[in-house]
Amino acid sequence: MAATIRPITQQQYLVTIKGIDSYWEKFSGLKDEAETTDYNDGLSNRKYKLVGPRELGDMDLEKAFDPTADKVIVDWWLNYCDGNDEPITISVTPVTYCPEVEPLGPSLIIYGVKPTALEGFEVDKTSNDISMLKLTFIGDTWSYA
């Protein structure tokens, strides 16, 4: 008998940055892509491809902005230094919310995180939209454990 799969929704994740007491509503997803190059052996009318090293693409975290609770994130951004001795990791964990938040399986963990942009504080006096805070970052590697 085939195993039963139990897919989850995009809502069923807890996204956190190690060392920051906050959660994120949106994660842009992971893109781990290899470079390729074409070559011809010189003897045929055929091109071949080689697969080169992989690279993680830029990723985004986004959340509804709370000016008081999210001050820790803004301060972290303002004080970030690339020579920081503390490694930064981001965890994306599938969870269930009922009755309590509990992990459902392995987590995506991104290592060697380096923030590259912070977006927020957008003002539009004619809008009732929620103010959002967005963090763009790069990472070195990842695991799914």
> What per-residue confidence (pLDDT) applies to 6?
87
pTM for the structure as a whole: 0.86
Q: How far is CA 82 from CA 47, 67, 78, 88, 145, in A?
A: 42, 25, 12, 11, 27
Q: Which fold has domain 13-29+38-144?
A: Pnp Oxidase; Chain A (2.30.110)
pLDDT bucket at 121, cuts 50 / 70 / 90: very high
Query: Whole-angstrom Cα distance, residue 81 to residue 70?
Result: 19
Amino acid identity for residue 18 in this structure:
K
For the chain, give every domain's residue range.
13-29+38-144
pLDDT score recorded for residue 81: 79
Q: Could you read off the pLDDT of 12-41 as tens digits, one per residue?
A: 999 999 999 999 999 999 999 999 999 998
- Per-residue pLDDT, 98: 85
b/e code 95-108 from CB counts within 10 Å (16+ = b): beeeeeeeeeeebb
